[in-house]
Amino acid sequence: MPARYVVIMAGGRGERFWPASRHSTPKHLLPIVGETPMLTQTVERVLGIAPKENIFVITTQAQFAGVRVACPQLPTENIVAEPMGRDTAAATGLAMLLVKQRDPQAAFAMLPADHVIHDVREYQALLNVAFASAESADVLVTLGIKPTEPATGFGYIEQAGPWKNVAGRDVVAVKRFVEKPDLETAQGYIASGRYLWNAGMFVWRVPVVEAGLKAHAPELHAGLVAMEAAAAKDGWASALAAGYPNLKKISVDYALMEKSTNVVVVPATFDWDDVGAWPAVANHFPTDAAGNVLRGLAMIEDGANNIVVSRDGHLTAVVGADDLIVVSTADATLVCARARAQEIKALLKRLEADAEKKKFL
């Protein structure tokens, strides 16, 4: 079997999980679901796919130390800090260069750091199917999630029809990627049965993704070529510092996937949750008789459907209130209507603009 690599993207800020999530310790470095950081769980899931020497993590300068702690089994040189965030297309290009210097023909997976997947056996089986598909043809492979509701917060993948059967699993040709829809459009997608959620999980061979970037994102590709040459001459640290900030800031969906015609999808049959905001926590922990979720030292008196998370040995109590999110940390407390959790990002913009309060980001 050819060598396989996994690259985990761990540079997000996890803003909707403030105040637990901060710039240097965001969502994926926290045990939001489970007892270990979500990045740690992601690495453990893929150790059955690739050896630790072939697993990379791309992160930020601010998060590098935290990633090192969360991934003690990985070689230090496999944790790479971007000089600055340039979105997922640049991260994909960097991943391609990192794998290419080890094996110019290898297949590698690009995976988010912060998804919750409990059925590890089925996950690994389908990721192996994705690798086998990428190794068998010049295709870009993605894993798509069967929708459980007309969600407006995800992009969607429209299936075109059968591609081939790989290891006993059906792999499907992709007709198109579509951006986050409005509710009515999402309801139509669900009713058609042709659409999957785009979970941002990809597998491809180095030459195939490089050809795709050259064809569909030539400006980005040119920057990567220059950075690769600079790395060969001056080393990666110097090449990244000089070249990475100049790469175009664009998502891999816009730059590559939406423009490519050689895309196939492996429909996922494992459980999946991107745990995008505090309300999603309720899907993974038991509730009391009134529907409350309590994490840490927390108490509720005469309240229903609340999520209360208390950290650092701090007791947090709620009396006579319903449908709240209350999160206490050592230096900040959030009280938020459960239905308005997405608005936490607006609060953080105000913190960013306040010289006195931005230290809490």
CATH number at residue 190: 3.90.550.10
69 located within any domain = yes
Q: Are residues 231 and 109 in the same domain?
A: yes
Q: Are residues 78 and 120 in the same domain?
A: yes
Average pLDDT over residues 115-127: 97
Q: Are residues 220 and 336 in the same domain?
A: no
Band of pLDDT at residue 133, cut at 50, 70 and 90: very high
Element (H, E) at 325: strand 324-328
Give 159-188 pLDDT, tens digit per residue: 999 999 999 999 999 999 999 999 999 999
SS (H, E, C) 237-278: HHHHHHHHHHCCCCCHHHHCHHHCCCEEEEEECCCCECCCCH
Q: Are residues 41 and 175 in the same domain?
A: yes
Q: Where are the alpha helices (DSSP H) in the chain?
A: 38-46, 64-70, 87-102, 120-136, 183-192, 206-216, 218-234, 236-243, 252-255, 344-353
Asked which of 229, 246, 268 is the last residue of a domain, the reply is: 268
Residues contacting 56, CB < 8 A, separation 6+: 5, 6, 7, 8, 78, 79, 80, 95, 98, 99
- Give the separation between CA 310 and CA 293, rounded to whole angstroms: 11
Smallest Cα–Cα separation from 142: which of 212, 40, 74, 61?
A: 212
Q: Are residues 155 and 10 in the same domain?
A: yes
Q: Are residues 50 and 129 in the same domain?
A: yes
189 located within any domain = yes
State residue 161's pLDDT score. Answer: 95
Question: Which domain covers residue 304, as residue numbers?
Answer: 278-360
Round the average pLDDT of the chain to a whole number and report it: 96
Type of residue at 22: R
State residue 259's pLDDT score. Answer: 97
pTM of the predicted protein model: 0.95
31 located within any domain = yes
Asked which of 247, 268, 289 is the last residue of a domain, the reply is: 268
273 located within any domain = no
Band of pLDDT at residue 312, cut at 50, 70 and 90: confident
CA 14 vs. chain centroid, Å, equals 10
- Give the separation between CA 129 and CA 213, rounded to whole angstroms: 24
Angle, helix 120-136 to helix 38-46, in steps of 10 degrees: 60
Q: Are residues 223 and 325 in the same domain?
A: no
Q: Are residues 103 and 221 in the same domain?
A: yes
Contact 253, 223 (CB under 8 A): no
pLDDT at position 213 over 90: yes
Q: Are residues 177 and 320 in the same domain?
A: no
State residue 129's pLDDT score. Answer: 98
State residue 313's pLDDT score. Answer: 87
94 located within any domain = yes
**In percent, how much of the chain has pLDDT > 90?**
96
157 located within any domain = yes
Q: Are residues 77 and 205 in the same domain?
A: yes
Average pLDDT over residues 207-216: 98
State residue 111's pLDDT score. Answer: 98
**In percent, how much of the chain has pLDDT > 70?**
100
Type of residue at 219: E
330 located within any domain = yes
State residue 2's pLDDT score. Answer: 84
Give 286-302 pLDDT, tens digit per residue: 999 999 999 999 999 99
Q: Are residues 261 and 306 in the same domain?
A: no
Asked which of 250, 268, 286 is the last residue of a domain, the reply is: 268
Phi, psi of 66 (to 5 degrees): -65, -40
Q: Are residues 69 and 207 in the same domain?
A: yes
State residue 311's pLDDT score. Answer: 86
Structural domain count of the chain:
2
104 located within any domain = yes
Average pLDDT over residues 132-152: 97
pLDDT at position 1 over 80: no
